Structure 1
Amino acid sequence: MLKLERIQYRCLRIALGCMQSTHTMSLEVIAGILPLKERLFELAFRFLIRSEIANPMLIANYEKCLEVVQKPCMSVYQRFMSMEINPSVVAPSREISTSLNNSSVVFDLTMKQEIHGIPDHLKPTVVPSIFSAKFGHLPKQNSFFTDGSVMDGHSGYGVFNTDHRISRKLAQPCSIYVAELAAIHNSLRIIELKTPDNYFIFSDSLSSIEALRSIKPVKHPSYFLPEIRRILEVLVDRSFIICFVWVPSHCSIPGNEEADLLAKRGAIDGDIFDRPITYTEYFHLPRQLALENWQEKWNKDDLGRWMHSISPKVSTKAWFKGLDLTRDFIRVISRLMSNHYVANAHLYRINLVDSNLCECGGYEDIDHIVFVCPKYHRARAKLIDSLRKQEVTFTMQVRDVLASRNPALKHESSLLFERHDPPNLDFDFKEIRNHHPQRIVVRISI
């Protein structure tokens, strides 16, 4: 395990461009990578969940082993047995049928383009008129609005139509995705009892609609997905035309708001809809437990406290995920977040320089470089001018900027480190090489 962990830590340092001295747990938090032990725990736990229904003899053998072996190697199984995990069916095949007639099953996602660029605070007043112009002419009795909800650990779904108001609760475990599929499934069951015609199902779950129209294997298909496909095939054979329409949530679209209220009511006190629960629906539990273990270690660790003050909560989502950033920028911010960067404050801590003071006489940490040091007045002026144009007052500490969830503020602050005017942090190569012959140090910006 130690050999594998050292490989992972080295890879994270290379990927992030962090210094060798960076605390290993800080690297994991910056990158959003589970510690190796927690990742293996998650995989082992998933294996046991899958075996509960797919290979019950294995579980029986573990149970026999537990009677005679009380060792750490059985700890994952003991944790597994302490939880109520009772899947009732094997997960359906990942392969999705492609035999549906495209002209009879339609997917309308045009509302995404219609509302693109509208500020969130204006959507409740603007979107209803857009929706009415596009779909207001449709017959009400043929329009079904569906929604799913999770409240206080309980899941439910709602279906709204001029002739039907349905709210149901779903047994746990149940994700919001499964609840949305359950609502669509219920709508199709109602449509089955009607005469062939054009019917419209409005859902604010883009993931559900994408899963239904996908011709690729679905990662974790639930019970409802193949059932919906089966019903659609029956309806197509009977000359029904079904149109799935995506609508934005919480935008004051009347039918969607009614379905949302019904879903919340179903989660709280609705009648339980009895369904087979696949083992894949329990797969969130191992990740949840692994994150809890990781969080506990991160809170109790003595090292990496600067990074902990910036990111106290662990996550498998890296801070730069989804952002269009250069590697240089990611490297700079990752080093600052770890508090291990090429400035005298840190180099003095690891015995690479004789003093933690700047040439100007101040304590050379990142706050000194950004706010005080006279050497960087040109870059500082450009930074302040850029922020002033955006009506941003940059008076906080760098640690507060790093802890901010506003990527634009981080990006503007990086102007200080542009290549044409970087902090001049040259060090005597020979002197450092004599102290640390295995360490090659070159001129870098922070």
Structure 2
Amino acid sequence: MAFYDLNVKIGHGIKLPSAASIYTAEACAVLAALEYIEYSNVEKWIIVTDSMSVLEALSNPCHNAKTNYIIFQIKEKYHKLCNMGRDIILFWTPSHVGVVGNEEADTLAKLITNTSDVVPVKKIKISYTDCSTLLKELMKKKWLDHWQESIQTKGKWYHQINHGIGKPWFTKGTYKNRKFYSYISRLRIGHGRFNEHLHRMNMITSPSCSFCNQANQSLHHIFFECSIFSLQRLILIEDLLQVYKEPEVIPRSLPDLLKNENCFVALYKFLVTTKEEI
């Protein structure tokens, strides 16, 4: 965190705890600039910042439990200085547009960040929002570590499709119907009403394909091998060409197809015209 006084051409900065967010650092910079103004004899000031989010928070008269506590400190300090006769304007500028003071402050802040062994860390309270973000990252890391350990014994099919944590696929795009989401979810986890899986669960006596009786009825067999579905497979290829454009780039495995959400409708269409349920 740093600020720069163009009048005397001197910069000031401090290092914040690693848990502090960029937003907190930007708010601290504004607060530090106000504290600097308090001990100056100059009455008129313009504080230029590239943090639109901080300025919006300061201009918002309504706050809640999620409001960063530094925003309250800035407001308190600002009103105190105004009562002391200081004329202070908070001004926004786009970042990295050649504003001398802004560029100097950014350079100083980066220098402080990269010299962690020299510059002491200022002890500040970590805000609720920063703590929440930190905890989410820690939980995500712990979950990923557990995920990497567990795939050695289970979940290998799903791991071929998804390697991390992200926004759920079903929150994207437009809603279709319940069956669509049910079928795609079952394909992604590799569990469903196909004979190979049902036999593994001891629910039926044979894993053989009930349509062609030529191989085990796995998901791969249904989509790529079963001779009964040759015509529907041609239609599937035509639908996939709308996504991949060239035949040679179409994936030859179901997990690879399931990595691309644009393939979901084509895969669903194939299921309802062949197996009918999964």
TM-score computed with the length of structure 2 as normaliser: 0.70
The alpha carbon displacement at 1:348 in A equals 3.0
Question: How far, CA to CA, are the matches of 2:47 and 2:135 in structure 1?
Answer: 40
The alpha carbon displacement at 1:386 in A equals 0.6
Return the match for 1:300 from 149, 173, 190.
Answer: 149
For 1:266, the equivalent position in structure 2 comes to 112
Question: How far, CA to CA, are the matches of 1:398 and 1:258 in structure 2?
Answer: 53
Matched position secondary structure for 1:169: coil
The alpha carbon displacement at 1:339 in A equals 1.0
Matched position secondary structure for 1:271: coil
Return the match for 2:3 from 135, 159, 164.
Answer: 159
| Higher Cα Rg, which structure | 2
TM-score computed with the length of structure 1 as normaliser: 0.47
The alpha carbon displacement at 1:218 in A equals 4.2
For 1:277, the equivalent position in structure 2 comes to 125
Give the 3 Å change call, closer, same or farther, for CA 380–259 of structure 1 in structure 2.
farther
Give the 3 Å change call, closer, same or farther, for CA 271–425 of structure 1 in structure 2.
same
Matched position secondary structure for 1:418: helix
The alpha carbon displacement at 1:325 in A equals 4.0
Matched position secondary structure for 1:326: coil
Question: How far, CA to CA, are the matches of 1:371 and 1:160 in structure 2?
Answer: 65
Q: Residues 363-407 of structure 1: CA distance to partner in whole angstroms, max 9, x if unpaired? A: 4433444444414235313323312449993225222343x4xxx
Q: How does 1:293-442 map to 2 (within 5 A)?
A: 293-301=142-150, 302-313=153-164, 315=165, 317-320=166-169, 323-326=172-175, 328=177, 329-353=180-204, 354-357=206-209, 359-360=211-212, 361-372=214-225, 373-389=229-245, 393-402=249-258, 404=259, 409-418=260-269, 422-426=272-276
What amino acid maps onto 1:357 in structure 2? C
Across the aligned residues of Structure 1 and Structure 2, the Cα RMSD in angstroms comes to 3.8
Give the 3 Å change call, closer, same or farther, for CA 355–322 of structure 1 in structure 2.
closer
8 Å CA contact 1:185, 1:227 repeated in 2: yes
The alpha carbon displacement at 1:322 in A equals 6.0
Return the match for 1:221 from 55, 62, 68.
Answer: 68
Give the 3 Å change call, closer, same or farther, for CA 388–321 of structure 1 in structure 2.
closer
What amino acid maps onto 1:422 in structure 2? V
For 1:186, the equivalent position in structure 2 comes to 32
Give the 3 Å change call, closer, same or farther, for CA 265–410 of structure 1 in structure 2.
same
The alpha carbon displacement at 1:169 in A equals 0.9
8 Å CA contact 1:187, 1:201 repeated in 2: no
> Aligned residue pairs: how many?
257
Give the 3 Å change call, closer, same or farther, for CA 398–159 of structure 1 in structure 2.
farther
Question: How far, CA to CA, are the matches of 1:183 and 1:220 in structure 2?
Answer: 17
Give me the identity figure in percent. Answer: 22
The alpha carbon displacement at 1:236 in A equals 5.4
What amino acid maps onto 2:148 in structure 1? N
Question: How far, CA to CA, are the matches of 1:390 and 1:229 in structure 2?
Answer: 59
Question: How far, CA to CA, are the matches of 2:192 and 2:265 in structure 1?
Answer: 14
Question: How far, CA to CA, are the matches of 1:195 and 1:260 in structure 2?
Answer: 25
Return the match for 1:240 from 62, 69, 88.
Answer: 88
What amino acid maps onto 1:267 in structure 2? T
The alpha carbon displacement at 1:418 in A equals 3.4
For 2:97, the equivalent position in structure 1 comes to 253
8 Å CA contact 2:243, 2:262 repeated in 1: no
What amino acid maps onto 1:374 in structure 2? S
